[in-house]
């Protein structure tokens, strides 16, 4: 028992930098200190994250075949997760269209990127960036369209997707990226993860918690269905252990904060449930993350 606890806390210490950044964001939000949320969101989604995606995919050691497999695995895992969550939501008597994005879409950016890098190093970050680009596209197109009265056409033009397509196209064409462009992308990309974690903490501090009970059910769907879908997709495609571990880890992330934002906009009557799902799934994930990291590394 003592050795198990020691192992757990030793692994948890590896997450300390992530927790510190999230904790500062929570403290900032609870104290109601000035926080330029719209500016940070626009900076991260429109500049620094696309820069990180472009630099990572331009310099990654993963070959084009592996990148293609990762895209296919990501789409398969997300589709399987959406089907599982839709079935469980219907069985639970919850509105499928309004809560499906909250239940099925993982927080692949704020937590997925740093967790994958922590577990698998630079290869893990490269694989996680591919998944993040795919998940971001699905979130802003399919994820929005399934919600009543929502449109998702803008998802085709998201900077993250454009950066990913541009980097892959240059790789396939064999066109070298100028050094100054790579260095600029690297410099901008380095601030992405800290900003994401600070923003996540700040958002968690401000999310209302009235819908915790129903939100807990959605949170359970997100974590369990995501974990199962990621594992089965990696198994079905025969991905190498490290890449399969990244896919499983990414799919096991808590509910995406952006899902709550969309729910609040397009399905306001379910906003509190979605908020509760984000809170519960994030707290549970952070508690179980050390064990999940060990399992993902051992796949």
- Give 47-72 pLDDT, tens digit per residue: 998 999 899 889 888 888 888 899 99
Average pLDDT over residues 152-181: 82
pTM equals 0.85
Average pLDDT over residues 164-184: 90
Is 30 among the domain residues?
no
Domain of 267, CATH number, reads 1.20.1530.20
- Give 119-147 pLDDT, tens digit per residue: 888 889 999 999 998 998 888 888 878 87
Per-residue pLDDT for 152 more than 60?
Answer: no
Is 19 among the domain residues?
no
Is 12 among the domain residues?
no
Give the structural domain span for 122: 35-189+196-204+213-298
The overall average pLDDT reported for the chain is: 87
Count of domains observed in the chain: 1
Is 159 among the domain residues?
yes
Is 3 among the domain residues?
no
What CA–CA distance (Å, rounded) separates 285 from 223? 8
- Give 239-260 pLDDT, tens digit per residue: 888 899 999 999 999 999 888 8
pLDDT of residue 154: 54
The residues near 171 (Cβ < 8 Å, ≥ 6 apart) are 57, 58, 64
Is 2 among the domain residues?
no
Is 138 among the domain residues?
yes
Is 17 among the domain residues?
no
What's the start-to-end Cα distance of the chain, in Å? 23
Task: Identify any residues that bridge with 106 across adjacent strands, giving them in sequence order.
Answer: 255
């Amino acid at each position: 028992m003592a050795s198990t606890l020691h192992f757990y806390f030793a692994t948890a210490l590896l997450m300390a930098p992530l927790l510190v950044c999230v904790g500062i964001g929570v403290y900032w939000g609870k104290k109601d200190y000035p926080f330029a949320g719209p500016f940070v969101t626009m900076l991260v989604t429109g500049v620094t994250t696309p820069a990180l995606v472009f630099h990572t995919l331009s310099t990654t050691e993963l070959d084009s075949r592996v990148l293609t497999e990762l895209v296919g695995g990501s789409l398969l895992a997300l589709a399987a997760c959406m089907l599982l969550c839709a079935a469980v939501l219907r069985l639970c008597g919850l509105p499928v269209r309004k809560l499906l994005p909250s239940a099925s879409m993982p927080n692949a950016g704020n937590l997925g990127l740093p967790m994958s890098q922590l577990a698998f190093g630079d290869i893990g970050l490269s694989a996680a960036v591919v998944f993040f680009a795919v998940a971001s596209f699905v979130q802003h197109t399919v994820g929005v369209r399934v919600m009543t009265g929502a449109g998702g056409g803008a998802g085709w033009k998201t900077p993250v997707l454009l950066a990913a397509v541009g980097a892959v196209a240059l790789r396939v064409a064999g066109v070298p990226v100028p050094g100054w462009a790579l260095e600029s992308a690297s410099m901008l990309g380095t601030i992405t993860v800290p900003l994401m974690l600070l923003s996540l903490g700040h958002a968690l501090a401000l999310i209302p918690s009235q819908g915790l009970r129903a939100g807990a059910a959605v949170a359970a769907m997100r974590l369990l269905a995501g974990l199962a879908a990621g594992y089965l997709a990696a198994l079905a495609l025969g991905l190498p252990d490290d890449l399969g571990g990244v896919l499983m880890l990414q799919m096991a992330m808590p509910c995406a904060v952006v899902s709550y934002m969309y729910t609040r906009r397009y399905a306001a009557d379910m906003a509190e449930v979605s908020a509760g799902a984000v809170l519960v799934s994030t707290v549970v994930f952070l508690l179980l993350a050390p064990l999940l990291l060990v399992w993902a590394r051992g796949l």
